[in-house]
């Protein structure tokens, strides 16, 4: 089935968010929430991940590789926060964070990477001239084009693979960054999977397609034990995500560039945020944070603090943003 046909089928079934009641199941920002962040995270319900938080809107970012589906919330004149998901992810990974950041006065945006979920119509065949793969330059140019839509520097968070992209974007265009947050970002250079817990040694003997297959199998079979509504949404968005984009991202992660010195020298505040049960050991993230001159925040969660610890994560992001000083 073609991508457009699959999107239409999802819409008819009400699975693309279009039929969801805005705010259905998405907690709003409670007064004094930052002081109760851990308690609120522990009490999070299993929300409808297709729903938009109250006040959020769907947007489209025109990028070199094609249209990128996005979400936006908060005052249009607020300081800008850009949240970028990783492989097999989407903008919806941040829906629990949007109300908290918007309530704090920020204009917060997120988008699907090319080839992923509702950005599946963006890809290397749209480039001029066309290219055969979702390569590093494609993702980086897309990210820079989204950053350039704003008037001033933005607070950028890169999640997992997008953490590497965010570092590359900072090195290329430091004027576009007010701060940098790396969420569950690969802490290694080169073959980034080599220190992943338990299966890292296997990554030395698998190619990108095999590695992607293993990752997708684990997600579909809920090895991370996510709640039912989350699992249903994750499985549904696989119907749109282009498999070749996942393969290409895994290939890129097996050759992660070393920009640590350049990132460290950037005069902006930096945060490395991870779950205590992340794919990579916390000690690797700690060494990575030291290399970057970044603060380290560790939550009692897995690879996805944006889903499991959003209040604590946003609390620490707001502290990061305060350290960046007044808006330029």
pLDDT at res. 139: 98
Greatest C-alpha distance within the chain? 52
Q: Which tens digit of pLDDT belongs to each residue from 167-181? A: 999 999 999 999 999
Query: What average pLDDT score do residues 219-247 get?
Result: 80
Cα–Cα distances (Å) from 111 to 81, 108, 189, in that order, read 12, 11, 25
Q: Which tens digit of pLDDT belongs to each residue from 128-161? A: 999 999 999 999 999 999 999 988 999 999 999 9
Name the H helices within 44-175. Answer: 98-103, 136-147, 161-172
pLDDT at res. 268: 98
Does residue 218 have a pLDDT over 70? no
pLDDT at res. 69: 98
Over the chain, what is the mean pLDDT? Answer: 87
Query: What average pLDDT score do residues 3-26 get?
Result: 45
Q: Could you tell me the two tokens for 237?
A: 């968005």
pLDDT at res. 196: 79
Does residue 293 have a pLDDT over 90? yes
**pLDDT-derived band at 220, boundaries 50, 70, 90:** low
Residue with tokens 């080839």: 115
**pLDDT-derived band at 22, boundaries 50, 70, 90:** very low
pLDDT at res. 8: 46
What is the length of the chain? 328
Query: What average pLDDT score do residues 276-280 get?
Result: 92
Query: What average pLDDT score do residues 230-240 get?
Result: 86
| Closest residue by Cα to residue 116 from 74, 69, 165, 156 | 69
Contact 84, 212 (CB under 8 A): no
Contact 235, 49 (CB under 8 A): no
Cβ partners under 8 Å of residue 274, min gap 6: 183, 184, 280, 282, 285, 296, 297, 298, 299, 305
Q: How far apart are CA 55 and CA 72, in angstroms?
A: 9
Residue with tokens 């990575």: 288
**pLDDT-derived band at 204, boundaries 50, 70, 90:** low
Q: How far apart are CA 284 and CA 296, in angstroms?
A: 11
Q: How far apart are CA 162 and CA 157, in angstroms?
A: 8
Q: How far apart are CA 237 and CA 227, in angstroms?
A: 16
User: What letter does residue 256 receive in the DSSP assignment?
Assistant: B
Pick the more confident residue, 135 or 196: 135
Does residue 24 have a pLDDT over 60? no
Pick the more confident residue, 213 or 228: 228
| Closest residue by Cα to residue 86 from 143, 148, 36 | 143
pLDDT at res. 23: 38
Query: What average pLDDT score do residues 58-83 get?
Result: 97
Entry pTM: 0.88
Q: How far apart are CA 190 and CA 200, in angstroms?
A: 13
pLDDT at res. 1: 41
Produce one character per residue of 95-110: b if its CB has 16 or more CB atoms within 10 Å, e if not: bbbbbbbbbbebbbbb
Pick the more confident residue, 47 or 219: 47
**pLDDT-derived band at 315, boundaries 50, 70, 90:** very high
Q: Could you tell me the two tokens for 260?
A: 């640590």
pLDDT at res. 206: 65
Omega cis (within 30) before 129: yes
Name the H helices within the chain. Answer: 3-13, 37-42, 98-103, 136-147, 161-172, 208-220, 228-237, 243-253, 260-265, 282-292, 305-308, 310-323
pLDDT at res. 212: 52
């Amino acid at each position: 089935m073609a991508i457009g046909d699959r999107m239409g089928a999802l819409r008819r079934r009400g699975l693309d968010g279009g039929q969801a009641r805005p705010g259905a199941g998405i907690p709003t920002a409670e007064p004094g929430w930052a002081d109760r962040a851990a308690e609120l995270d522990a009490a999070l319900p299993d929300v409808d991940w297709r729903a938009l938080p109250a006040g959020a809107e769907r947007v489209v970012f025109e990028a070199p590789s094609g249209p990128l589906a996005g979400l936006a919330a908060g005052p249009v004149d607020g300081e800008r926060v850009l949240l970028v998901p990783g492989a097999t992810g989407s903008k919806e990974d941040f829906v629990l964070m949007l109300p908290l950041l918007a309530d704090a006065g920020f204009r917060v945006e997120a988008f699907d990477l090319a080839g992923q979920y509702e950005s599946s119509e963006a890809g290397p065949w749209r480039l001029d001239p066309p290219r055969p793969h979702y390569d590093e330059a494609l993702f980086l140019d897309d990210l820079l084009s989204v950053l350039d839509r704003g008037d001033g520097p933005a607070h950028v968070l890169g999640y997992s693979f997008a953490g590497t992209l965010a570092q590359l974007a900072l090195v290329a265009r430091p004027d576009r960054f007010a701060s940098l947050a790396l969420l569950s970002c690969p802490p290694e250079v080169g073959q980034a999977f080599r220190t992943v817990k338990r299966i890292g040694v296997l990554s030395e003997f698998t190619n990108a397609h095999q590695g992607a297959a293993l990752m997708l199998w684990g997600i579909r079979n809920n090895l991370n034990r996510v709640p039912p509504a989350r699992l249903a949404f994750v499985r549904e968005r696989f119907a749109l995500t282009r498999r070749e984009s996942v393969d290409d991202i895994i290939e890129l992660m097996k050759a992660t560039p070393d920009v640590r010195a350049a990132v460290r020298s950037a005069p902006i505040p930096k945060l490395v945020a991870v779950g205590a049960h992340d794919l990579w050991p916390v000690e690797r993230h700690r060494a990575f944070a030291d290399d970057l001159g970044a603060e380290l925040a560790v939550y009692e969660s897995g690879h996805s603090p944006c889903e499991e610890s959003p209040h604590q994560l946003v609390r620490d992001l707001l502290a990061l943003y305060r350290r960046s000083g007044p808006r330029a």
